[in-house]
Structure 1
């Protein structure tokens, strides 16, 4: 059975493409933190600022997860605003550029796994 995804607010997208479009709409509206849960128990978090995204993938609620990285990136980026009002700053190596983020999220929503060429770091 194919993995399906649901937004944390209960919205069920009709397809991975619809989910990606909804993610873009939410981001355009200023909702920079989005969580999705899959029918297989996975959780996917996307936290964006104007240029970069923190993408976390967790196997289940007890998993500390892993996140997409850009190992050769230098510097830090701020402006990652969480829904609870918290403003985060991350090293750029712990985030990915927005165009890459959308491609990564699309692959996870479609295939259930990250794209093979994406670097990931396990969170502990």
Structure 2
């Protein structure tokens, strides 16, 4: 069964991987730095960014701590990750990825259903 993804903002129906990326870029450009995509199989894909780096999380269902993209060896931390409720977060850079890598990961998950084979990720389970 093919999984379909929708943006969790009350918008239109399923989006393609290209549509998901367009939506992400538009939301980031408008200062909306947290985006959730909901899969028809019950999974959730979250992207929280500071416009330079992003926390990308994939959860298998409600209550699942999931897994997140990682940048092994990255040093330091970055702030400016603003959640929809106004909370400002800071994450170690090793727990986030550059924004271009985040887009590549989202494209692959929405388009193909899984993480790119070469993408680093950490299980939070």
Aligned match of 2:90: 89
Q: How many residues align?
A: 124
Aligned match of 1:2: 2
**Contact map agreement 1:51 1:97 (CA 8 A) in 2:** yes
**Once superposed, what is the RMSD of the aligned Cα atoms?**
1.0
SS of the residue corresponding to residue 26 of structure 2 reads: helix
Aligned match of 1:45: 46
SS of the residue corresponding to residue 45 of structure 2 reads: strand
Deviation at 1:16, TM superposition (A): 1.7
Aligned match of 2:68: 67
TM-score scaled by length of structure 1 = 0.95
Distance across 2 between alignment mates of 1:37 and 1:14: 10
TM-score scaled by length of structure 2 = 0.95
Distance across 2 between alignment mates of 1:18 and 1:63: 26
SS of the residue corresponding to residue 35 of structure 2 reads: strand
Structure 1 segments unaligned to the other structure (5+ residues)? none
**Contact map agreement 1:13 1:19 (CA 8 A) in 2:** no
SS of the residue corresponding to residue 121 of structure 1 reads: strand
Distance across 2 between alignment mates of 1:16 and 1:118: 17
Runs of 4+ in 1 over 4 A off after TM superposition: none
Q: Deviations over 1:57-111 (max 9, x none)?
A: 0011121100000011000000000010100000000000011110111000001
Structure 2 segments unaligned to the other structure (5+ residues)? none
Q: Deviations over 1:30-63 (max 9, x none)?
A: 0000011100111000000021000000011121
Deviation at 1:2, TM superposition (A): 1.5
SS of the residue corresponding to residue 32 of structure 2 reads: coil
